[in-house]
């Protein structure tokens, strides 16, 4: 088996297990909307449910569930195709796509199982709260960030390979 598929499976399994176990734990041990401070004035664990996307977008739409399931399914398929086309030396791209893949899958599992997503990571500063999120959301954001950085570095590497024109 190619290393890129081992990376995809390992990263995805790790993120999915952490995401789903943390959500089940929050659901079983906390009541909805309850909260406790982890780092005073900066970080709480707050049990919320989100029917929409980031910032609650589309939360009240009648078509939200089919829409999100379709988007997640398309993302998962596109990522699998992208990984299959990557070169063996593009391990960082594989890892970043694996993070995005597992994040999309983690939230899709919630939508199928619950019709909404469990969020619980609550970052705030001086009364201003970032919308609550979860491990799957974090994996997607970190994966996109790493992918963007790697693409910029790849562009730089390609420019260094190409000799200057006379």
SS3 125: strand
Region for residue 16 given its phi and psi (left: phi exceeds 0; alpha: psi -120 to 50; beta: otherwise):
alpha
For 12-44, give the DSSP string: HHHHHHHHHHHHHHHHHHS-TT-EEEEETTTEE
| Inter-residue contact 144 to 96 (CB < 8 Å) | yes
Q: For the chain, what is the mean pLDDT?
A: 89
SS3 166: coil
Q: What pLDDT, on a 0 to 100 scale, did the predictor assign at position 10?
A: 97
- Those residues of the chain that have pLDDT short of 50 are none
Q: What pLDDT, on a 0 to 100 scale, did the predictor assign at position 60?
A: 57
Tokens 């990263």 appear where?
A: 11
CA-based nearest residue to 99, from 163, 2, 19: 19
As annotated, the active-site residues are 119, 137
Q: What pLDDT, on a 0 to 100 scale, did the predictor assign at position 58?
A: 57
């Amino acid at each position: 088996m190619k290393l890129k598929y081992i990376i995809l499976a390992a990263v995805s399994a790790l993120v999915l297990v952490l995401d789903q176990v943390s959500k089940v734990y929050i659901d079983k041990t906390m009541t909805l909307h309850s909260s406790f401070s982890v780092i005073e004035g900066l970080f709480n664990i707050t049990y919320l449910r989100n029917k929409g996307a980031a910032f609650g977008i589309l939360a009240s739409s009648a078509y939200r569930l089919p829409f999100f399931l379709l988007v997640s399914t398309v993302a998962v398929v596109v990522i699998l195709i992208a990984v299959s086309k990557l070169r063996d030396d593009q391990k960082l791209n594989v890892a970043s796509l694996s993070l995005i893949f597992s994040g999309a899958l983690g939230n899709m599992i919630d939508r199928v199982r619950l019709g909404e997503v469990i969020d619980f990571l609550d970052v705030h500063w001086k009364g201003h709260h970032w919308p609550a999120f979860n491990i799957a959301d974090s994996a997607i954001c970190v994966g996109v960030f790493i992918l963007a950085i790697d693409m910029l570095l790849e562009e730089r590497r390609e420019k260094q390979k190409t000799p200057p024109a006379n």
